[in-house]
């Protein structure tokens, strides 16, 4: 941990009691700040408040009182999910009070080698693969943190100058991380996500580009080269560009040619040996390989990781095989693009479980994928009628169910040996579940109940 005095004697407000917010509050006390912690909700677990107060932190819960804007805070550390049009946040913006996220605080105290990953899809898998690859050859600590569910600042506290940290960073986190400066930055892809938060696609892209904003020619931006738009986005960085591509050969980075992965013209391994399924996971592997090779990782270490790693939970996760049916949990597929790439990963008939929060989307884009890959569909949630309409358009049998749990036995009744039963909802979970993680966990529990087996 780097010793800094930036917060010594400063008055700091921490907004949000998530894992990152709680860790940030305690860290700020160590850094000499006078800390107030605020959450709009009242925690069900009193231990959270007790622990904060025991550290000398003033705690305010049950509201974001606008009066806090008049208390002279020097800095606000905001939970990334709190929008900037929140009345209290908007008041601080108007006052030009610095507003940062915990990722910025983590960067300020980090004293090692930083690799950071962002993108619309594939962030967690790429982050995990990158950390595993670098760790295979490392003589020092290699950890991961960030949007992957582990506090950046908490891990950064325990790392020294020779250690490496691989961080997954969302657009929400990056928007409040003005000085972050990874030596290697990865952009997996950029689609049109979170426009309810960012308002415009350009705002969303600009937030993502904060990952490379402070990089120089001595740093590296690893970026997907499979779309013209992403190639143009790369031109906005001052870093040395390292492309990765499943579709376009580029000797400056990692790419696929005739079923073989190459790094700058040298063979690494066949794509068929990657344990993760689907073209999106080839792309994730290519991104991780580029970062790993830039970090001095050997081909043998890369092969070891890619031939054994079976996936991140809820992200096209293999659950089990039962009576010659394969079960996959892809609850993280909360948009159309993610379900498109999931379906392309299978060469077996798929019984698709899909549906969820109605955000006003229609699903005609999925019709060609339904025609090619889907044997039958079980639909649920607010948008089930729209999803059913797309299935009918594709000529696929569709039945309705209550949710992702009740859909499991329905899918089993429709299945035959050789089929894949896939939860890939193409929609957010919030109409029926508090998060995609809970939705995926409940799906797995339903599969375990059906089969009498535990996930593998």
Return binding residues: 119-125
Closest CA to 174 of 139, 140, 142, 214: 214
* Distance between CA atoms of residues 388 and 399, nearest Å: 8
What are the φ and ψ backbone dihedral angles of 428, each rounded to 5 degrees?
A: -65, 165
The number of residues making up the chain comes to 456
Residues 107, 179: contact at Cβ < 8 Å? yes
* Distance between CA atoms of residues 277 and 44, nearest Å: 40
Helix (H) or strand (E) holding 367: helix 367-373
In 189-217, which positions are buried (b, 16+ CB within 10 angstroms) versus exposed (e)? bbeebbeebbeeeeebbbbbbbbbbbbee
What are the φ and ψ backbone dihedral angles of 42, each rounded to 5 degrees?
A: -100, 115
* Distance between CA atoms of residues 304 and 129, nearest Å: 11
* Distance between CA atoms of residues 318 and 263, nearest Å: 28
Q: Is residue 429 exposed (0-12), middle (13-18) or buried (19+ Cβ within 10 Å)?
A: buried
Residues 426, 354: contact at Cβ < 8 Å? yes
Q: Tokens representing 359? A: 């955000």
The DSSP code sequence of 36-93 is EEEESSPPS-HHHHHHHHHTT-EEEES---GGGGGS--SEEEE-TTS-TTSHHHHHHH
Q: Compute how many other C-beta atoms are within 10 angstroms of the C-beta atom of residue 275.
A: 14
Binding residues for ATP: 119-125
What are the φ and ψ backbone dihedral angles of 288, each rounded to 5 degrees?
A: -65, -40
């Amino acid at each position: 941990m780097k010793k800094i005095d930036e917060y010594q004697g400063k008055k700091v407000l921490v907004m949000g009691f998530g894992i990152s917010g709680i860790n940030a509050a305690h860290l700020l006390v160590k850094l000499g700040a006078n800390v107030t912690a605020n959450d709009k909700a009242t925690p069900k677990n009193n231990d959270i408040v007790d622990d904060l107060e025991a550290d000398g932190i003033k705690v305010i819960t049950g509201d974001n009182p606008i009066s806090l804007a008049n208390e002279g805070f020097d800095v606000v550390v905001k939970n990334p999910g709190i929008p900037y049009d929140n009345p209290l946040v908007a008041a601080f913006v108007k006052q030009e009070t610095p507003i940062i996220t915990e990722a910025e605080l983590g960067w300020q105290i980090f004293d090692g080698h930083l690799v950071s990953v962002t993108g619309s899809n594939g962030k967690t898998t790429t982050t995990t693969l990158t950390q595993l690859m670098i760790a295979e050859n490392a003589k020092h600590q290699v950890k991961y943190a960030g949007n992957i569910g582990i506090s950046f600042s908490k891990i950064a506290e325990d790392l020294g100058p020779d250690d490496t940290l691989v961080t997954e960073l969302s657009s929400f986190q990056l928007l409040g991380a003005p000085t972050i400066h990874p030596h290697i930055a990865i952009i997996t892809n950029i689609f049109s996500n979170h426009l309810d938060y960012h308002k415009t696609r350009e705002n969303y892209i600009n937030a993502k580009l904060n990952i490379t904003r402070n990089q120089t020619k001595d740093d590296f931006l690893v970026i997907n080269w499979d779309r013209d738009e992403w190639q143009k986005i790369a031109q906005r960085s001052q870093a040395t560009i390292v492309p990765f591509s499943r579709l376009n050969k580029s000797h400056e980075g990692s790419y696929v040619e005739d079923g073989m992965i190459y790094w700058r013209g040298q063979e690494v391994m066949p794509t068929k040996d990657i344990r993760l399924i689907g073209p999106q996971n080839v792309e994730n592997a290519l991104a991780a390989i580029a970062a790993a090779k830039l970090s001095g990782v050997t081909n043998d270490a890369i092969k070891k990781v890619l031939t054994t790693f079976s996936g991140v939970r809820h992200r096209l996760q293999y659950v089990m095989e039962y009576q010659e049916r394969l079960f996959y949990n892809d609850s993280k597929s909360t948009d159309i693009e993610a379900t498109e790439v999931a379906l392309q990963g299978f060469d077996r008939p798929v019984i698709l479980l899909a549906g969820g929060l109605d955000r006003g989307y229609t699903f005609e884009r999925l019709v060609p994928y339904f025609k090619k890959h889907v044997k039958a569909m079980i639909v649920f949630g607010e948008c089930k009628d729209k999803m059913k309409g797309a299935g009918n358009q594709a000529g696929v049998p569709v039945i309705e169910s209550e949710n992702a749990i009740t859909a499991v036995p329905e899918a089993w009744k429709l299945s035959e040996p050789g089929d894949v039963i896939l939860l890939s909802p193409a929609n957010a979970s919030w109409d029926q579940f508090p998060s995609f993680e809970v939705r995926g966990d409940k799906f797995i529990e339903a599969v375990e109940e059906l089969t009498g087996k535990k996930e593998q």
